[in-house]
Amino acid sequence: MDASVSTPEIGRSVLAAGRHTNVHDLGSGAPVLLIHGSGPGVTAWANWRLVMPALAESRRVIAPDMAGFGYTERLPGDDYTMDNWVAHAIGVLDALGIERTDLVGNSFGGAIALALAIRYPARVRRLVLMGSVGVPFAITPALDAVWGYEPSLEAMRGLLDLFAFDRSLVNDELARLRYEASIRPGFQESFGAMFPAPRQRWVDAMASAEADIRALPNQTLVIHGREDKVIPLQTSLTLASWIPRSQLHVFGQCGHWTQIEHASRFARLVGDFLAEAAADEPQPLS
């Protein structure tokens, strides 16, 4: 992390799974860990900035830049695998002394959240999967374009058009800001190493086994944008049908940016769902 850079994208630094990790840590109360998606130049702040303050009104919000992204330390010979991303997320929880957390995963982050809940069931209370990877599907042309991004202002503008249903959210200024984010030192180098072609194999590598998903005990909220071009709605339909204690919310007139295009509604939906979590806890004997 470059301490000389002044940007709201930088929070605090913690040593997690052997790497200095940029983490936003705000609010108090029951913890919720937010895991961002895999767009070029993404950071936890860029992904969650519109919903973190609302969620932090009633809980402790933890949002790290995952290994290979944002302002988290990049290590020589980094190997970007599900095993390592899950280990990094667990390392963040350990570094902050959090034994058990609610967990929200967006897209690529949904696959990490799903795998973490399967592998470390004692660490996860409620689960929210938004536009999530984690089950088998044929890679979409849009996701192939996102993962195959080569830095240019025109390419970034094209990606933003794929992400958002509401074109008023997409303008030249946003494209310029996200393009500049994608070419910060180290950002594109690590991003380009994550998802080389052919990219269907990375969709497959992020999928958890059906039997493991069906065995999840967690109360789970599955969220998707109906007009999502990046991750097909069918993935969330599959997750909702496989996870026994799940519910599904589909936002109409919404692309892959549920937390941005419908920020207030998303925060209320997730906040209300997580507020019910006390009912999941064992009750003392009377």
- Positions marked catalytic: 107, 228, 256
Q: Label the pairing between strands 12-16 and 31-35.
A: unpaired
CA distances from 29 to 86, 101, 284 (A): 24, 11, 21
Do 50 and 260 meet the contact criterion of CB atoms below 8 Å apart?
yes
According to DSSP, the β-strands at 12-16 and 19-26 are antiparallel
Distance between CA atoms of residues 181 and 271, nearest Å: 30
Q: In which region does residue 17 sit, left (phi positive, over 0), alpha (psi from -120 to 50) or beta (all else)?
A: left
DSSP state of 123: G
Rounded CA-CA distance 211/56 in Å is 34
Distance in angstroms (rounded) separating the CA atoms of residues 269 and 57: 14
**3-state DSSP of 204-235:** HHCCCCHHHHHCCCCCEEEEEECCCCCCCHHH
55 close to 6: Cβ distance less than 8 angstroms: no
Q: Structure tokens of 254?
A: 């919404």
Helix (H) or strand (E) holding 180: helix 172-182
Place of tokens 């402790």: 60
What is the separation of C-alpha 31 from the centre of its chain, rounded to a whole number of angstroms? Answer: 16
